[in-house]
Amino acid sequence: MDRVRIGLAGCGSVSQRGLLPHLAQDDIQAWCELAAVMDPEPGRAEASAEKFGAAHHFTNYADMLASDIDAVVIASPIGLHHEQAMQAIEHGKHLHLNKTMTTTKTEADEVIAAAANAGVTVVASPGRGHRAGTRRIKEILEAGDIGRVYFAEIGTAGSGHEHEGFRRGDDILSNVSPAWYYRKPGGGPMYDMAVYALHTITGILGPVRRVTGMSGIGLKERTFKDQILPVDMDDNTHLLLDFGDSVFCILFGTNSQGGPRGFSSPYISGSEGAVAYEGGELVTWGRNVEGGRRAERPRGAMPFVVGEHSDIQESHVYSDIMHMVDCVLNDKRPAVSAEHARHVIEIIELGYRAAETGQTQDMETDFALRALDAPDVDSR
């Protein structure tokens, strides 16, 4: 295969703001092409194809799978990911799944097993373990700059998708209801936002062994363009993660306003010091740091995020999509792995179970963070 023909499933907010603009850029045409788009909302896929240059558009997912494509990018509501992934694998299509890959460990197991049997590649966002800041924090910990790690704090908070500026228009491309974010299955800030924090902290500290926590719903209803949106998925979740050897993490995912230290930015405390982001800088302080404090800005762009891609939203998702393309073309094993995604999904699932039962839950899954073999984007 010389070039990967991509079909995009779901032309909603994330696709309009980021994925479609990235995939329409001329500089990636040697690697892949946006061959088809699909969305069940009448007129949205057609308008997306016209705006971003896709050759084909569909309202039916099965019809897109039957078309001349090699891979599927799934950007549909999270509750649809498992079914759509399994259908794509049955058709022999390679896969990139937006976060989260599925909503349960059992679903994730099925996707991983089916993909292995079919011999197709699966890349599951987000690849936070390979970000420059995440790698630098690991180096700081391994160097012993903060001594023995005791605990971490990390989380995500957002006031709600109904406030997203993109959705304020009235045309078919921007008038995208956020209703699914508040419904089961797959809604709520844990699956949609805290997944970033979970991939980050497990990318630093490794697999989680036990989970406990509390969870509930703060607002039972939300409003979007004078429409009442019922909320039946928890929107205020706080977990305690046990990494073993008395290393713990306090993690939150809420639909409240703001949050300490920014979106998915960790604070890690050790016996000799601590490390955290402050004002965009990674700050390390303590007895083992010269002068008691060191501030730096980790360097290193995400793979493929060059030129105009640096100014387009959702560049991290685009980077993961292109990692899938690179793996398919060059027979590489994905570093942004389905196994890491499954581990994070199990944390979320067991976190909800712990909150419901009041009992700490033991994790079953594991993962190994593999090095990302970043390509030379000019090599084609």
CATH of the domain at 235: 3.30.360.10
Share of the chain above pLDDT 70, in %: 99
Residue 356 has pLDDT above 80, yes or no: yes
Could you give the CA distance from residue 244 to residue 241 in angstroms, rounded to a whole number?
A: 9
Q: How many CA atoms lie within 13 A of 92 on its CB side?
A: 5
Residue 371 lies in a domain: no
CATH of the domain at 87: 3.40.50.720
Residue 282 lies in a domain: no
Bridge partners, residue 6, by sequence: 34, 71
Same domain, 357 and 241: yes
Give residue 301's pLDDT.
80
Give residue 202's pLDDT.
98
Same domain, 232 and 358: yes
Tracing tokens 């987000």 back to the chain, one arrives at: 126
Give residue 376's pLDDT.
76
Same domain, 108 and 25: yes
Tracing tokens 């990018």 back to the chain, one arrives at: 73
Could you give the CA distance from residue 250 to residue 202 in angstroms, rounded to a whole number?
A: 12
What torsion do the CA atoms of 76, 78, 84, 86 make, to the nearest 10 degrees? 150
**For residues 126 and 316, is the Cβ–Cβ distance under 8 A?**
yes
Residue 105 lies in a domain: yes
Share of the chain above pLDDT 90, in %: 92
Residue 124 has pLDDT above 70, yes or no: yes
Same domain, 310 and 161: no
Our count of domains for the chain comes to 2
Residues 336-361, mean pLDDT to the nearest whole number: 98
Three-state DSSP class for residue 258: coil
Could you give the CA distance from residue 101 to residue 225 in angstroms, rounded to a whole number?
A: 30
Residue 294 lies in a domain: no
Residue 290 lies in a domain: no
Same domain, 198 and 246: yes
Residue 210 has pLDDT above 70, yes or no: yes
pLDDT digits 0-9 by tens, 76-89? 999 999 999 999 99
pLDDT band at 380 (very low <50, low <70, confident <90, very high): low
Helix (H) or strand (E) holding 344: helix 338-357
Same domain, 107 and 23: yes
Same domain, 214 and 355: yes
Residue 30 lies in a domain: yes
Same domain, 207 and 309: no
Residue 363 has pLDDT above 80, yes or no: yes
Could you give the CA distance from residue 105 to residue 96 in angstroms, rounded to a whole number?
A: 18
Residue 259 has pLDDT above 80, yes or no: no
pTM of the model: 0.97
Three-state DSSP class for residue 123: strand
Same domain, 225 and 354: yes
Give residue 261's pLDDT.
72
Helix (H) or strand (E) holding 293: strand 293-296
Same domain, 166 and 242: yes
Same domain, 110 and 186: no
pLDDT digits 0-9 by tens, 97-119? 999 999 999 999 999 999 999 99
Read off the tokens for 42. 């009448």
Give residue 199's pLDDT.
98
Query: How many CB atoms are closer than 10 A to CB 165?
Result: 8
CA dist 122 to 85, 150, 291, 298, Å?
9, 34, 46, 29
- Quote the mean pLDDT of the chain: 96
Same domain, 120 and 190: no
pLDDT band at 323 (very low <50, low <70, confident <90, very high): very high
- What letter does residue 306 receive in the DSSP assignment? -
Helix (H) or strand (E) holding 239: strand 236-242
pLDDT band at 379 (very low <50, low <70, confident <90, very high): low
Residues 53-61, mean pLDDT to the nearest whole number: 98
Residue 318 has pLDDT above 90, yes or no: yes
Residue 263 has pLDDT above 90, yes or no: no
Give residue 300's pLDDT.
84
Residue 308 has pLDDT above 80, yes or no: yes
Give residue 79's pLDDT.
98
Residue 120 has pLDDT above 90, yes or no: yes
Residue 211 lies in a domain: yes
**For residues 257 and 159, is the Cβ–Cβ distance under 8 A?**
yes
Residue 141 lies in a domain: no
Residue 260 has pLDDT above 80, yes or no: no
pLDDT digits 0-9 by tens, 325-335? 999 999 999 99
Which residues touch 234 (CB under 8 Å, ≥6 apart)? 188, 190, 215, 216, 217, 352, 355
What separation, in Å, do the N-terminal and C-terminal C-alpha atoms of the chain show?
13
Residue 377 has pLDDT above 80, yes or no: no
**Which domain range does residue 39 map to?**
4-127+305-336
